[in-house]
Amino acid sequence: MPSGKRTPRPKEASPGTADDGHAVLDGSGGKVIAEAAVEAMSEHGYHGTSVRDIADRAGMSSAALYHHFTSKQDLLFHITDRGIEALVRQTEAALRASPNDPAARLRAIVRVHVLTHTENQQGSFIGNSEIRSLEPANRAIIVSKRDQQKRLFDDVVRDGAERGAFATPYPNEASMAIITMCTAVAQWYRPDGPLRPDEIAERYADLALAMLGYRPRPPRQR
């Protein structure tokens, strides 16, 4: 005999959101919204940007935006999360493609970090300057992924120090300084400046190796 109790139906996600409630901004409409939000927030900051501002830049109504995200906070999380996810993924790929040489590995990840912060300059700037505007749960997710990126640098620097390639007595502090230096490129880089992104990346790799006291191995004698 039926018990008379109804089995509760699983809760459906709102339009444009994932199962965890965060925005899903794939597709042309989502990309337009994300680009509009990045432009507005880079000019006016998170708190100085309204949903109406984003809607106007995206060429749609405020109501239409809510088919893609649940709140302005959700949109900020998406922008920062998408950026750090791509950075970690590209850094890991650079390490897999690098030879087993500390200097080459460091040069590869510095290049990725610098190029990411020049090619996605506005998004990178928001990801770093507006992390304070994320709600605690969202901020914890982003901080965890930033820590993951830092560990990739820490491992390369520590390995080089242990193998005698890097002479610095402060590998942890040097690793943090290198990441900070590379991240700050997003604050001052100008596309019409004297240096191309790849030139900046090469110079920063040289600076990073100098900071670490890089000791190239002498060539083997035949």
Structure confidence by residue, pLDDT tens digits, 103-157:
999 999 999 999 999 999 999 999 999 999 999 999 999 999 999 999 999 999 9
Instruction: Give the pTM.
Output: 0.81
CA distance 205 to 53: 39
Phi and psi of 12, rounded to 5°? -85, 145
pLDDT of residue 24: 47
170: three-class secondary structure by DSSP:
coil
Q: Is the pLDDT of residue 208 over 90?
A: yes
In the chain, how many H helices and how many E strands?
10, 0
- Main-chain phi, psi angles of 87, to 5 degrees: -65, -45
Residue 79 — pLDDT band, cuts 50, 70, 90? very high
Nearest to 179 by CA among 84, 113, 111: 113
Distances, alpha carbon 15 to alpha carbons 23, 68, 172, 215, in Å: 9, 7, 45, 56
Output 180-185 pairs: Cβ under 8 A, ≥24 positions apart. Answer: 181/207, 181/208, 182/110, 182/113, 182/114, 182/117, 182/208, 183/113, 183/117, 183/124, 183/128, 185/114, 185/117, 185/118
Closest CA to 95 of 145, 36, 157: 157
Q: Domains for the chain: give ranges and CATH numbers.
A: 14-70 (1.10.10.60), 72-211 (1.10.357.10)
Q: At what angle do helices 121-129 and 72-97 cross, to 10 degrees?
A: 110
| Burial class of residue 114, CB neighbours in 10 A (0-12, 13-18, 19+) | buried
> Which residue has better confidence, 98 or 27?
98
pLDDT tens-digit map of 55-64:
999 998 888 8
Asked if 112 and 92 count as a contact pair (C-beta separation under 8 A), the reply is no
**Residue 31, pLDDT score:** 84
